[in-house]
Every structure is written in C-alpha cells, then in structure tokens.
C-alpha cells in the first residue's frame, strides 16, 4: 500500500509549493492551472516582473504598516513607528487597487493564468489555488474559460470549489 496522492491532492501540493515563493509579508498564495493532467501554468502572489519594488523589502504600503504587538508590550507599527495606529496605516477593507493602500502585487491566480496562456492553454481546464479567489480573479478565470476552481484555505470559510462554471457575472445588475 502506498501514500500516493490522488490528482487533486497532487495539484494542491504544487499550488502550496508555488505559494512558498510569494512576495508578501502578509500571506503566500499559490495557484496552478491544469488541463488533461498537464500543468500549463504556475503562479504566486508577487511584485510585477522586473519591478524593483518588493513587498518583502517594504515596497508595499499594506505590508509595511501593520500592528505588531509582542506579548506583554504595547502595540507598535511594523515600520518602527512607536505609535499605533501608525499615521500611514492602511485601514482593513480599503481598496487594494487604488488609494494609499494600493497593493503592488499580482495575484497568484493571475500569474498562473498568464503563465498558462504563454504555454498554449486550450479552453477548459482547472485551477488549484491555496485561497479562495477574489472577485477580480474569478472574472479573469472565467474569461480564460476554465471550467473549475478548487481551493483549500478560503478566507474564513470551509474548503470549496466551483465547477462546471457558468458565468458568475450573468446576474450582476448592469452587467
């Protein structure tokens, strides 16, 4: 008897490995795109290719200003400011795309799809990702004609998936 992983476990393991390369102080997300048991693309969250900015090196406002509170001490900002909240702190729930808290990273799902398209991804296929995709990534996934998305560590929810995807944006008012 062997402990050989089944295909979904294998793919999720690859996604976790890709996520270990994530260039973010807050989380490492990995994604892979497969079609007919062939891996077409891998991705992790990180700075734009060739950029001198890096979240791990303090280039992202969200990754630079967050509450650090060691046991038994007063809270302070990760940037070194002794006052909490730091004047440059980015409020939770604020936009990742615009304003002072704009994230400098490309999401793992986007990087995996870009890589897969570079390698000739045909319509169909599936994505395995270590966290539940955001709405923008779901739109991108839909546009690339994947038929299923699987995740293991969604944002506060049970593991899940969407398969046999129909356009999730058909019912959006004004769409």
Question: Residue 61: in which H helix or E strand, if any?
Answer: helix 61-64
Q: What is the mean pLDDT of residues 64-85?
A: 77
Query: What CA–CA distances, in Å, run from 67 to 74, 93, 105, 128?
Result: 10, 15, 21, 31
pLDDT for 161 equals 56
pLDDT for 11 equals 94
Tell me the pTM.
0.78
Nearest Cα to Cα of residue 32 among 47, 45, 14, 8: 14
pLDDT for 78 equals 79
Dist CA 79 CA 124 (whole Å): 44
pLDDT for 38 equals 96
Q: What is the mean pLDDT of residues 104-128?
A: 93
Report pLDDT digits (tens) over 24-70: 887 899 999 999 999 999 999 998 888 888 888 878 877 777 777 76
Q: Could you say which of 9, 91, 97, 109 is catalytic?
A: 109
pLDDT for 173 equals 36
- 150 or 31, which is more confident? 31
Taking the CA atoms of residue 90, residue 94, residue 96 and residue 98 in that order, the dihedral angle to the nearest 10 degrees is -90
Is 9 one of the catalytic residues? Answer: no
């Amino acid at each position: 008897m062997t402990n050989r992983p089944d295909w979904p476990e294998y793919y999720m393991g690859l996604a976790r490995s890709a996520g270990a390369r994530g260039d973010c102080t807050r989380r490492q997300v990995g994604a892979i795109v497969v079609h007919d048991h062939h891996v077409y693309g891998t991705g992790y969250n990180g700075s734009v290719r060739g950029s001198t900015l890096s979240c791990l090196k303090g280039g992202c406002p969200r990754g630079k200003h967050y509450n650090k509170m060691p046991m038994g001490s007063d809270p302070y900002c990760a940037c070194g400011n002794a006052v909490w909240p730091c004047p440059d702190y980015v409020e939770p729930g604020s936009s990742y795309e615009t304003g002072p808290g704009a994230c400098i990273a490309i999401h793992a799902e986007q990087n995996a799809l870009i890589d897969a398209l570079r390698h000739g991804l045909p319509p169909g296929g599936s994505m395995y990702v270590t966290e539940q995709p955001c709405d923008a990534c779901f739109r991108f996934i839909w546009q690339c004609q994947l038929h299923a998305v699987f995740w293991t560590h969604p944002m506060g929810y049970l593991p899940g998936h969407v398969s046999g995807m129909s356009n999730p944006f058909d019912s959006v008012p004004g769409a």
